[in-house]
Structure 1
């Protein structure tokens, strides 16, 4: 059986949490490979709702869960999330959760810097203010504190000195007080015994489980169009969110990620600033936001809503090597008499079938729409293809044609079991 990599194929918030939770039943190990606690998954299991932003979704299923080296980790938030799940009856132990010992830490000074920059910016990026970007900056600047450093006081002291040599001038420029290195050291030493039991060489464990023939599910955060290289730069996240990062961010070789499943919402949303060609600011956009409950799991911010953009998803299919998609929130479209799908754009009078790299060009795109009839029947809770209205089936089939990838799974509500399986990714 193949391993499976799940990524968002739009701007994130596509419903990855439910699908990863659903697929965890078929996996032995679940791996998070990039991002931080700036993106969340909401899992609905019966009457219980779990909100995760750093822990892999597999922990709820009791599956071995790994936070890979590609993730930047706020250790205090991790401990808080472990505590919250414990209160909900899910006990997180080192036998269940592995934290890569070479993962980099998010520190309070990263959060300070993130928030101060965003407050001072004229053209805001729309970050969550949780320190993810500055932590990645320190990682590539080779001055980050990593999980393994928590076990070495001498290394911690030297690294804090190096870190503050960089951050102190930045803080002065932003009007922030100088950070107390001794206080940071004390905080890290107090937290270390609680975190270190989870720390192990994640790459070695993954190598062993793959050789043993166990199935691995790689869980991405955010979406492909927020990728720091391939997204709507600079309105992107600070990491690579495309499927290729599953290999680098976990320590497994490039063949390891296996089948790539792209999660796609039946319409389009994004949080924060940046271009959005199909955005709707009318009553239809309001309908999508209200019925779809489009509020960020982590931030609570309202999401911008618009028609399904096949050109964007087609681009994601190519960038990620997507073998099949999981289409979510089809039920939000119930009752709309007419539906539109963006098939491409016009840019300065010319037809264009992809999102250009230039920010100016992105802002000038005019969507080209194809209109279809909607349906009055409900699709909510449907669990088989035959339960869908005829026009809903036509809508799904047209999406498949336009994006160049089949719909492998169809989600019809937040509930785990309200899922129509066309192709099992682990069997492909």
Structure 2
């Protein structure tokens, strides 16, 4: 297989950017296919930390990065990120970045709507307030603006009028001030000359890459449990996060996607609201958070922490087509007296081995936990499976047995080469 799709297998923040960065050394192209700047990917390279949101992780290696049509693109956020990379010595030019013509634009009005909707909910969803959801709503409602519209100022103004007519009616109806048109239009026209040189036919480039045998990494954002169809609805994102989303969100045939590598921590985290069956409250959860640095890359929000849920992970693998696992942050568990895995659920007195579809049932789940001995030695920086403490190796074996998917690699530290490779994803 010449291509690999990287999918978050939990609730996001699994370390996908780091895995994509490692794969990018062997790839020719890295493609973002969903989400927007609500995603945060952290790379540590030679002691320097790069925090990416919209840019494909391969740009740090100088590989061609493509932003697909499935991405919700905030032009202001993209240009700010390009400027941050330039300040760190990474030049992002049209030779190393191309943006799909039909990618949806995220606008300031979307951020305003996002914040207003979150304030009005009796129970907030915990969105990042970046305007991603409202932008996707406009896309599906057929009133959205797309990147290609930046090249047609008159059409851009007309489409903006239609979009604002819709949103301002809602704002007025909810007792809020309507959103002004001209400042937003002027900002878009000012940014257009910087954005348009990056715009191209991403689908065509991917078709050429396939026919010429190039290696492509498809970089997903968020995760299966945040998928709009397969996640813990309504506490989800607004795009397709599974491997199938890579085909529709980048413009490539599903048969050309290749392997699907699911990324999971050896424990579990979640940001925002929603059910989390294996969550740890109190001192142990706090310790996991501090050891793992579990705070949002872009938002700084503390992540909820718990034991790895193998029922959830197994279900994610099935619906997302995951056929290899990358386990991250093994070194965070160093020194724990014991470690546990969630291997089943109790629902109203009965044991089940799947995650129910309703939020009410998910909230009533109780975890069935299996205990494992911890280890005294350090796994940090270990790059050979045989050098792991026996207890750590036993935990990895148990995870792949419970989930039914082989572990291809395990990360043991923040540097890109702190990893144990068991099955090379590219073959």
Deviations 1:195-224 (A, max 9, x none): 000001110111111111100000000111
Distance 1:277 1:153 in 2: 50
Distance 1:118 1:277 in 2: 24
Deviations 1:154-182 (A, max 9, x none): 21122011101101111113443222223
The answer as to whether partners of 1:117 and 1:174 remain within 8 angstroms in 2 is no
Task: Name the residue aligned to 1:57.
Answer: 57
Task: Name the residue aligned to 2:86.
Answer: 86
| 2:187 corresponds to 1:187 | yes
Shift of 1:417: 0.8
Task: Name the residue aligned to 2:127.
Answer: 127
Report the RMSD for the aligned CA atoms in angstroms: 0.9
Task: Name the residue aligned to 1:228.
Answer: 228
What SS does the aligned partner of 1:316 have? helix
The answer as to whether partners of 2:2 and 2:214 remain within 8 angstroms in 1 is no
What SS does the aligned partner of 2:426 have? helix
Task: Name the residue aligned to 2:321.
Answer: 321
Distance 1:47 1:350 in 2: 49
The answer as to whether partners of 1:344 and 1:368 remain within 8 angstroms in 2 is yes
TM-score by length of 2: 0.99
Shift of 1:184: 2.2
What SS does the aligned partner of 1:307 have? strand
The answer as to whether partners of 2:47 and 2:415 remain within 8 angstroms in 1 is no
The answer as to whether partners of 2:150 and 2:156 remain within 8 angstroms in 1 is yes
Shift of 1:282: 2.5
Shift of 1:121: 1.6
The answer as to whether partners of 1:126 and 1:273 remain within 8 angstroms in 2 is yes
Deviations 1:106-129 (A, max 9, x none): 000000000111122211000000
Spell out the pairing of 1:270-281 with structure 2 (5 A cutoff).
270-281=270-281
Distance 2:157 2:305 in 1: 47
Task: Name the residue aligned to 1:215.
Answer: 215
4+ aligned runs moved over 4 Å, structure 1: none
TM-score by length of 1: 0.99
Deviations 1:374-419 (A, max 9, x none): 1111111111112100000000000010000011011001110101
What SS does the aligned partner of 1:305 have? strand
Task: Name the residue aligned to 1:205.
Answer: 205
Task: Name the residue aligned to 1:300.
Answer: 300
Distance 1:220 1:399 in 2: 23
Gaps (5+ residues) in structure 2? none
Shift of 1:39: 1.2
The answer as to whether partners of 2:2 and 2:213 remain within 8 angstroms in 1 is no
Shift of 1:357: 0.6
Task: Name the residue aligned to 2:365.
Answer: 365
Task: Name the residue aligned to 1:348.
Answer: 348
Gaps (5+ residues) in structure 1? none
The answer as to whether partners of 1:125 and 1:235 remain within 8 angstroms in 2 is yes
What SS does the aligned partner of 2:235 have? coil
